[in-house]
Structure 1
Amino acid sequence: MAHPVDVHVGKRIRQRRWLVGMTQQQLAESVGIKFQQIQKYETGANRVSASRLWDIAEALDVDVSFFFEGLNSASQDANTPQDMPQDLLGDKEAMDLVRSYYAIPENQRRRLFELARVLSDVA
């Protein structure tokens, strides 16, 4: 049985990899391992050592602390919409939306964000 921290770290690795548009193979090559090992890390089946997590963080251009963010707030709070997936990090559609959002030029992105905020207040 995978430890919940290992599962969380694996999900954060996958989330960041998706956001930067990197394949498992590309990440594996950049840290000097096989892509199957990345698969095992992302599912939490294998624990990531500290030195390997450091290498992964460098390859994905984040601080090591990124992989532990949100660990204590894994449960939904009262302000979360009911139809929002419990595991937003594991939802491919949500991650694709985030990646597309950040591909938009910043001034247009701000306008889109404000529009989404207004629409969600009306709903």
Structure 2
Amino acid sequence: MNHPVDAHVGRKIREVRLLRGMTQADVAAKLGLSFQQLQKYETGHNRVSASKLYEIARLLDVGPNVFFEGLDGADAGAGDLIDDRTARAAQALASIADEKVKARLRSMIHEIASREAAAGQG
């Protein structure tokens, strides 16, 4: 039986990995793990050691604290897990090589979101 903290940390690892546009195989290879081992981390079936969590954080270019955000509910709004469709969209955006196109798309997304938020308040 996996511990809720291990499951939460695993989901956060998966979330950040997807946002970085990396596959389980990519991350596992760079960490010297099998993709099955990384999969067990992401599902919370295997506990991630502190040293491995630090390596994962460095590889994904985030602070180790990111994996604990939203755990106690105090900062749940900032640490909500994203759904698969949103993760795939972020992954697709990250894969675009042309930085000008990427910047335009980001700007468009932010503009639409701010208009939606303003419409919801009125």
TM-score bracket, normalised by the shorter chain, equals 0.7 to 0.9
Deviates more, 1:112-121 or 1:63-72: 112-121
Separation (CA, whole Å) in 2 of partners of 1:48 and 1:94: 25
Q: What's the CA shift for 1:89?
A: 2.1
Unaligned runs of 5+ in 1: 78-87
Normalising by structure 1, report the TM-score: 0.76
Q: CA 1:95/1:4 → structure 2, altered by over 3 Å: closer, same or farther?
A: same
Instruction: Verify the 8 A CA contact 1:6 1:47 in the aligned structure 2.
Output: yes
Matched, 1:67 2:67: yes
Out of 71, 84, 88, the position equivalent to 1:92 is: 84
Separation (CA, whole Å) in 1 of partners of 2:93 and 2:72: 27
Q: Which residue of 2 aligns with 1:108?
A: 108
Consecutive aligned runs of 4 or more in structure 1 exceeding 4 Å deviation? 97-104
Instruction: Verify the 8 A CA contact 1:11 1:90 in the aligned structure 2.
Output: no
Task: Indicate the structure with greater helix content.
Answer: 2
Q: What's the CA shift for 1:99?
A: 4.8
Q: CA 1:114/1:67 → structure 2, altered by over 3 Å: closer, same or farther?
A: same
Deviation per residue, 1:34-65 (Å, 9 max, x gap): 11000000000000000000110011110000
Q: Which residue of 1 aligns with 2:99?
A: none
Identity of aligned residues (%): 42
Root-mean-square deviation over aligned CA pairs: 2.6
Separation (CA, whole Å) in 2 of partners of 1:29 and 1:121: 47
Q: CA 1:72/1:98 → structure 2, altered by over 3 Å: closer, same or farther?
A: farther
Normalising by structure 2, report the TM-score: 0.77
Matched, 1:15 2:7: no
